[in-house]
Chain A
Amino acid sequence: MSRRRDAPSWPMRAFKGLVLLVFCALVVLPFVGVVSTSVAPDRQINEAGGLVLLPDSVHLDAYRSLFAGGVVTRALGISVFVTVVGTFASLTVSALLAYALSRPHFSARRPLLLVVLFSMLFSPGMIPLYLVVKQVGLLDSVWALIVPTMVSGFNVIVLRSFFAGLPGEIIESARIDGAGELRIFGSIVLPLSRAVLSVIGLFYAVGYWNAFFNAMLYLNDSTAWPLQLVLRTYVVNDTQLGSADLGTEQLPPQAAIQMAILVVSIVPILLVYPFLQRHFTKGVLTGAVKG
């Protein structure tokens, strides 16, 4: 660190460390409790009356019943589908648009850029958007979770400013060698933009995975529910999960099942988090500075 300041006193440093430790504990503790309870034995959960912080032994019964083919298995499948397909579609559409907007000689650049920029200033009202989704026949379709949120103006602008920053000589020389736009985009621009594409892709993915209200608004049929809605019904609203819902005979304690659902919905985020974290400061800042 180049910043030179008077060294703080010992009590001050200890105090700061303590405050930070408390904050971090407040964040970590709930996750530890949830994971522990999902694998804890019945007896211990009953004794604790709910959340267990340190399981005596590890049991995976709750997970076995979740993946036995019932409500949760199906919802997980839907969430994975929406996230994977949605992210791929979002990234493709956004990158193509951003590339077109980043080419300085593109004749329709200014008006289209304005369309994107203005879209960031307001959000469509809930009711009018609902009517549009209904009008185009997406209601009660899993595509209602993908299509309306497929393009985010903000992400397009971030991608655009990255593409615009790529050295123009490479692109120009490819053009002179006879490469068309598609070729330039596919074999020069995309490979050079892996980092920013993965950040934006992960942001889209987290958005799709976490989306809950659009499913509540657009899907009446509970068999099409994504994981977040199942989580709301069986964990937040505490509706009992029966063996019919789970497709299995033997039922682990309700608390363990609930916590296991919670873990299943958290783990994918935890898996992508390290990748996300490596880049996101960069991603957020390019958008904020140049957007």
Chain B
Amino acid sequence: MLRAPTRRTPGRQRAGLLRRLVRDRVLLLFAVPGIALILGFQYLPLLGNVIAFEDFQPFLGIRDSAWSGLANFAVLVNGDPAFLRALTNTLVLTLLQAVFVFPAPILLALLLNSLFSERIKRIAQSILYLPHFMSWVIVVALFQQMLGGSGLLNNVLRAHNLATLDIIGNSDLFRVLLTSQVIWKDTGWATILFLAALSTIDSQLYEAASVDGAGRWRQLWHVTLPGLRGVIILLFILRLGDSLTVGFEQIILQQQAVGRDVSEVLDTYVYNNGVVAGQWGVAAAVGLVKGLVGVALVLAANKVAHIFGEEGVYSR
């Protein structure tokens, strides 16, 4: 690597942009591969969304496919049963997750935080974080082995001459199954942020509350929970932005067994209609609207957070 032995003067703002870029050529070279990949696989696909306005035919390509205006968006408003089914299932699952999945790590973090033995806490954390690093294929396989027709639970029941439970592949219980899989996989891991927030709460606040006669439950209510409020709101906003996204890999793995009536969500709708069935334009249209609604939800939720005096995802 060659470098001129001249010393640089600090008068950078006077140098022209071009000259500064030439000066920074090595750093630019450092940045190029990463930026190129981000532009190519994150930003460039945004342009690909034009096929939402086309009658896209793969053999014709994006440029030569015929324009179809907003025709692809018709399924969103004309009461198409397949789309409505996907939308309903998505919203039901999101609601279930908001009620059962979201609070779980908060409760677990409170439990871990209230332990007196640091060692037990660390051991429990090591065990409970582990499922987060398992792929969905592994998680689904493990659930089958535990709860399936010939799984551990039913084998134990059979051995004691009890009635077996039909859990895996039962469409009535599919939503419960999905929710419990998410809880099993990610509750432990999700405690990290809450535990970090708990560790920043000033211990003097507890002492002051204790002096004022507050018992453990009052301390929880008046010191601990207010200390967690910022994180809870932040994570809730992020989750809200994802409300139209519910466990795509998880569902696609188990869809065959229970049928689409209970399992089709917006993401699987896009996959099944686009990649599998070849209705590229319609699938892209649904995907595009879903993405836009997601961004709008985050921005709106953030606005609400600002109104309530919280920082939210970004502050202004």
- Chain A residues near B (Cβ < 8 Å): 1-8, 13, 16-17, 19-20, 23-24, 26-31, 33-34, 37, 48-51, 53, 93-94, 96-101, 103, 105-108, 112, 115-116, 119, 121-133, 136, 147-151, 153, 156, 178, 180-183, 185, 206, 209-213, 216-217, 228, 231-232, 235-237, 259, 262, 265-266, 269, 273, 276-277, 280-281, 284-285, 288
Given contacts A151-B34, A206-B133, contact A34 B188 (CB under 8 A): no
Does A107 contact B274, Cβ atoms closer than 8 Å?
no
Contacts A/B (CB < 8 Å), 24 sampled = A5-B219, A8-B116, A19-B111, A24-B127, A50-B155, A96-B34, A107-B17, A108-B31, A115-B38, A122-B46, A126-B287, A127-B283, A128-B284, A129-B45, A131-B48, A132-B45, A132-B48, A180-B1, A210-B135, A213-B249, A236-B141, A237-B256, A262-B138, A285-B192
Does A273 contact B196, Cβ atoms closer than 8 Å?
no
Does B38 contact A210, Cβ atoms closer than 8 Å?
no
Given contacts A1-B118, A103-B27, A178-B3, contact A148 B287 (CB under 8 A): no
For A232, what are the chain B residues with a Cβ–Cβ distance below 8 Å?
137, 253
For B31, what are the chain A residues with a Cβ–Cβ distance below 8 Å?
96-97, 100-101, 108, 112
* B74, CB-defined interface residue at 8 Å: no
Give A224 to B249 CA distance when docked, in angstroms: 20
Instruction: Please give the distance in Å from B126's CB to the nearest CB on chain A.
Output: 6
Give A24 to B122 CA distance when docked, in angstroms: 12
Given contacts A131-B62, A132-B40, contact A126 B1 (CB under 8 A): no
For B124, what are the chain A residues with a Cβ–Cβ distance below 8 Å?
20, 23-24
1/0 contact string of B110-142 vs chain A (CB within 8 Å): 011011101010001011111101111110111
Does B295 contact A121, Cβ atoms closer than 8 Å?
yes
For the A-B complex, the count of residue pairs with Cβ-Cβ distances under 8 Å equals: 272
* B216, CB-defined interface residue at 8 Å: yes
Size bin of chain B's contact surface: 35 or more
Does B284 contact A5, Cβ atoms closer than 8 Å?
no
For B151, what are the chain A residues with a Cβ–Cβ distance below 8 Å?
50-51
Instruction: Please give the distance in Å from B117's CB to the nearest CB on chain A.
Output: 9
List 5 A-B pairs, minimum CB-CB distance, nearest first.
A128-B48, A97-B34, A210-B135, A124-B45, A128-B45
Give A284 to B231 CA distance when docked, in angstroms: 14
Give A127 to B126 CA distance when docked, in angstroms: 38
> Pick the contact of B1 from A150, A151, A153, A182 — CB < 8 Å?
A182
1/0 contact string of B1-41 vs chain A (CB within 8 Å): 10101000000100001001101101110110111011111
Given contacts A34-B145, A124-B41, A228-B137, contact A180 B26 (CB under 8 A): yes
Residue in chain B with minimal CB distance to A34: B145
Given contacts A112-B35, A125-B291, A127-B48, contact A26 B283 (CB under 8 A): no
